[in-house]
Amino acid sequence: MEPIVNSKIIEFKLPAYKDGEFIDVSNKDIEGKWSVFFFYPADFTFVCPTELVDMAENYDKFKELGVEIYSVSTDTQFTHKAWADASDSIRKIKFPMIADKTGMLSESLGVLNREDFLAYRGTFVIDPQGLIKIVEIHDNGIGRDAAELLRKVEAAQFVANNPGQVCPAKWKKGEPTLSPSIELVGKI
């Protein structure tokens, strides 16, 4: 299996539901921007709405970092709209909800479960060049945390903007970083 970190996201064009409208989203839309692709199993389920609402409640913080969020499931754009119409919580979502109904994007990123044709909980942070910088895949019973994802995005952006610097464990924006060198070996 080829490593996915630092690989490019595939070319794609998929329908989506965004804030009351149907739109198309493609790989061209993410060029020159930081993006998060947030895969989840299905609309009208249990853990999924808790995660999507958490992302919606933190969406402005991601936007302040210049990051667009894209939630993705194998549901249709029509199902995404029906879910938003039926749920006050899901109606809060302002980011695109991509309909990967053929499973092409899910499969290309290794999150498609062929047994039930649902995506695992996969999170992919993609830099402005289209390179995947962070990959996290969970079993479907394990929810994610938008605040932790924000911290990781800030670290990825810091490293991208500061060659020669790395972020240690639990690093938060504004804290000291490391300059890897032989002097640090065995001293941390």
pTM of the model: 0.95
- Whether the per-residue pLDDT at 185 is higher than 90: the answer is no
Domains of the chain: 13-144 (3.40.30.10)
> Residue range 75-79: average pLDDT?
98
Q: Output DSSP code: residue 186.
A: T
Residue 162 phi/psi, 5-degree rounding, is -135, 75
pLDDT level of residue 182 (50, 70, 90 thresholds): confident
Sequence letter at residue 129 = Q
Q: What is the pLDDT of residue 186?
A: 73
The span from the CA of 62 to the CA of 123, in Å, is 14
- Whether the per-residue pLDDT at 187 is higher than 90: the answer is no
For the annotated catalytic residues, the residue numbers are 48
pLDDT level of residue 188 (50, 70, 90 thresholds): low
Residue pair 84/93 in contact by the 8 Å Cβ criterion: yes
Sequence letter at residue 116 = D
Task: State which H helix or E strand residue 122 sits in.
Answer: strand 121-126
- Reading the block at residue 107, the tokens are 């499969």
pLDDT tens profile 113-172: 999 999 999 999 999 999 999 999 999 999 999 999 999 999 999 999 999 999 999 999
> What's the mean pLDDT when you consider all of the chain?
95
pLDDT tens profile 27-38: 999 999 999 999
The span from the CA of 158 to the CA of 77, in Å, is 35
The span from the CA of 9 to the CA of 177, in Å, is 29
